[in-house]
Amino acid sequence: MSHIRDRFHKAADKQVAEFTASVACDLRLYPYDIAGSIAHAKMLAKQGIISAPEAETITRGLESIKEEIEQGRFQFKTELEDIHMNIEARLMEKVGEVGGKLHTARSRNDQIALDLRLFTREAITKTLAGLKSLQKALVGLAEANREVIIPGYTHLQAAQPVLLAHHLLAYFEMLKRDAARFGDCRRRASVLPLGSGALAGVAYDIDRDFLARELGFSQISQNSLDAVSDRDFILEYESAASLCMMHLSRLAEEIILWASEGFGFVELDEAYATGSSIMPQKKNPDVAELSRGKTGRVYGHLMALLVTMKALPLAYNRDLQEDKEGFFDVVDTLLSTLAVFTGMISSLKVKPENTRKALERGYLLATDLADYLVKKGETFRSAHGIVARLVSYAAAKNKSFAELSLGEYREFSPLFEEDVSAITVASSIAARDVPGGTAPKRVAQALAAARKTLEEP
């Protein structure tokens, strides 16, 4: 029977033991749990709470447990509830009674808070690297297709021409904000909770600043009750992950559309597409679809933890154990989505012959024609009306703007002259020469700026 049941006369009911155990899930915290314990033992020795040889013995024991886990030799036991007690019990088996000194001036409540913060820090480092790789892939695709123009859409109706690079850089911006959010989250996760004990602090002369330095934290928590029950850093990660998945999902949706028959703007690499079990002609964008689909479960985990926490009185409550499964799934889902997405974008083939055709369909230059009339003295509102009538005339005749004669133009306004033929897709994008606009010059600057940010460490 586990020592935390010493006051009881009965073993836990088997179903209860299974119901309350978390080791199947939290065993992945072992590297953080061991790192935290080693720092704690070192601090206890430095403060004279345990002896230096005792700390040595404990540290060596913990290191060999780490090896056992890594080599798959460690026997995790459900009846020992969680990762903390599994490691502690094994430590006592290995080093004897002295192992029992490790938990001096500590509780599982500040221990789990520590493990989770260490895990979060590392998850953020990996997330930032994943974001950067995807940003590089987007910039690479944009650079390789600098000249390609696509219809820009509003309401998914062809609106005005834009450079494909400009469109891709929109996602670069979203990911830049995501990275900033994860960076923020890291600052708040980097606070040492150890030393808070079960809830009230500990009755030993410990050195929390030493622990913070040992474990690479920039600050120590200021209130023990808060420190053992705070999971804001997980919620922040999950919120930032939800936003990031939303961005990936939007891009996934565009890739699905662009790869469809109707658009045909891109072709997926075979390594990033799947076939159909019945329709041999299919090349399906399942990576993009699954990325879009997985967004829902990430939102779900965020909502689940917000709800779990909303009525918890201070301080630790066992409900908090429910934080982990969802959190680990959020981290795994985001990291794997970022990784496959990067491969999918890097191997995407753009089909300019199809984007060109799409530019000819629809009346993408309508705004440019209105702007033309404005420059000749018409007010924008009446120019808008003239071009609207022109569009409906051309559509009825099944003609593009380029196919209309000057005579036909002039039936709608005498301001139309020979130079109306100078309005092209190229002149349209070149005219959007404002900071943040799609003019090739501006986009080239944006691309160079993006490259530069990516080279920063």
**The one catalytic residue among 9, 155, 277, 405:** 155
Quick one: 153 or 328, whose CB is closer to ligand ARG? Answer: 328
- Is residue 190 close enough to count as binding ligand ARG by CB under 6 A? no
Quick one: 129 or 306, whose CB is closer to ligand ARG? Answer: 306
Position among 82, 88, 238, 371 found at the interface with ligand ARG (CB under 6 A): 82
Shortest distance in whole angstroms from residue 5 CB to ligand ARG:
12
The region of 104-112, 125-133, 248-256, 439-447 touching ligand ARG under the rule CB under 6 A is 104-112
- Is residue 109 close enough to count as binding ligand ARG by CB under 6 A? yes
Residues binding ligand ARG: number (CB under 6 A): 10
Using alpha carbons only, what angle is made at residue 301 by residues 298 and 307, rounded to the nearest 5 degrees? 145
- Is residue 252 close enough to count as binding ligand ARG by CB under 6 A? no
Position among 22, 120, 196, 242 found at the interface with ligand ARG (CB under 6 A): 22
- Is residue 337 close enough to count as binding ligand ARG by CB under 6 A? no
- Is residue 73 close enough to count as binding ligand ARG by CB under 6 A? no
Shortest distance in whole angstroms from residue 45 CB to ligand ARG:
25
The region of 106-114, 186-194, 298-306, 425-433 touching ligand ARG under the rule CB under 6 A is 106-114
Per-residue CA distances from 10 to 88, 89, 117, 248 (Å): 22, 20, 35, 52
- Is residue 108 close enough to count as binding ligand ARG by CB under 6 A? yes
Position among 321, 342, 355, 413 found at the interface with ligand ARG (CB under 6 A): 321
For CA atoms 265, 271, 275, 281, the dihedral sign is: positive
Active site residue 247: no
Active site residue 291: no
Quick one: 22 or 413, whose CB is closer to ligand ARG? Answer: 22
Shortest distance in whole angstroms from residue 152 CB to ligand ARG:
49
Give the residue from 163, 228, 218 showing the smallest Cα distance to 195.
228
Residues paired with residue 158 on neighbouring β-strands, in sequence order:
153
- Is residue 86 close enough to count as binding ligand ARG by CB under 6 A? no
- Is residue 112 close enough to count as binding ligand ARG by CB under 6 A? yes
The region of 153-161, 170-178, 273-281, 312-320 touching ligand ARG under the rule CB under 6 A is 312-320
**The one catalytic residue among 51, 218, 260, 276:** 276
The region of 107-115, 174-182, 358-366, 367-375 touching ligand ARG under the rule CB under 6 A is 107-115
- Is residue 196 close enough to count as binding ligand ARG by CB under 6 A? no
- Is residue 320 close enough to count as binding ligand ARG by CB under 6 A? yes
Quick one: 5 or 410, whose CB is closer to ligand ARG? Answer: 5
Position among 318, 419, 434, 457 found at the interface with ligand ARG (CB under 6 A): 318
Residues with catalytic roles: 155, 276
The residue ranges that bind ligand ARG (CB under 6 A) are: 22, 26, 82, 108-109, 112, 316, 318, 320-321
